[in-house]
Amino acid sequence: MIQLVERLLDLIEVLADEKEISLTELAKRLNLSKGTTYRLLQSLKVRGYVSQNATTRKYGLKVKIASIGHKVLENLDLRVEARPMLEELLEETRETIHLATMENGEVIFNDSLPSLYTLRVNHRFPGERGPAHCTAVGKVLLAYSTSQKINETIKEKGLPKLTSNTITSASNLKKHLDMVRKQGFAIDDEESEEGCRCIASAIRDYEGKVIAALSITGPSTRITPKRFNQLSQVVKRTADKVSARLGFNLARTPQ
């Protein structure tokens, strides 16, 4: 039984790499007899996972098998899947790590790991909410929203001034969000809290949709402008790892 399962999985993996393949070539690739390969194909064909081209007589996978993969991806728990990468980022940077999503124009913090330094900023607790226009995670999530969603958020939530660096002009915020999309990360340069800076990047699901943001947060004395480029790449790399864990193909990043 174990050998049969292994052969079926091997067959599916070969079919997944080919648009269509002949029985002879498939048997050769699997190192099986044509008779055994045919019986495996017929079993999958009856269950609707494999089809045979009436003209070429070659075999290929059907959409049904992709639907199973989509169901698995849809059921993934963002916090659970991201946690190992968050812990790696904490070890690498030693700064506070946040994972956030957005709901009704506000940032919702899904997970948070406090800094390993003695001197650190206050971290957000899971479920805590925050403004989108002046936080790094919020700006990332806004940047990849529709123009309508951005306008609705500005209208409903306003652009309250929290520090002297907070962007309070709608036109300036939109220009800033354009820059965030181009560079692939966002910075909170003491815009939500004086003495605190954050750098965030987007997390995508298997369809390429931005569903969350990941950030590092720390005192402005440690997260200095000179480190923005280096830290932004670290955050982006980790966010990409989480995206890959959720099934996103990094080679197909939307422009």
Alpha carbon distance 186, 21 (integer Å): 46
Delimiting residues of CATH 1.10.10.10 domain(s) in the chain: 2-73
Domain 2-73 has CATH 1.10.1200.10: no
Rounded to the nearest 10 degrees, how much is the dihedral formed by the CA atoms of 208, 223, 87, 209?
-10
Alpha carbon distance 173, 153 (integer Å): 12
Q: Give pLDDT tens digits for 66-91.
A: 777 666 655 568 888 899 999 999 99
Name the nearest CA neighbour of 132 among 123, 120, 143, 121: 143
Delimiting residues of CATH 3.30.450.40 domain(s) in the chain: 76-252
Average pLDDT over residues 181-201: 96
Q: Give pLDDT tens digits for 129-184.
A: 999 999 999 999 999 999 999 999 999 999 999 999 999 999 999 999 999 999 99
Predicted confidence band of residue 253 (pLDDT cuts 50, 70, 90): low
* For residue 119, pLDDT beyond 70: yes
The CATH number given to 76-252 is 3.30.450.40
Alpha carbon distance 217, 239 (integer Å): 15
**Cα separations in angstroms, 84 against 63, 89, 111, 199, 238:** 32, 9, 12, 19, 10
**Average pLDDT value for the chain:** 91
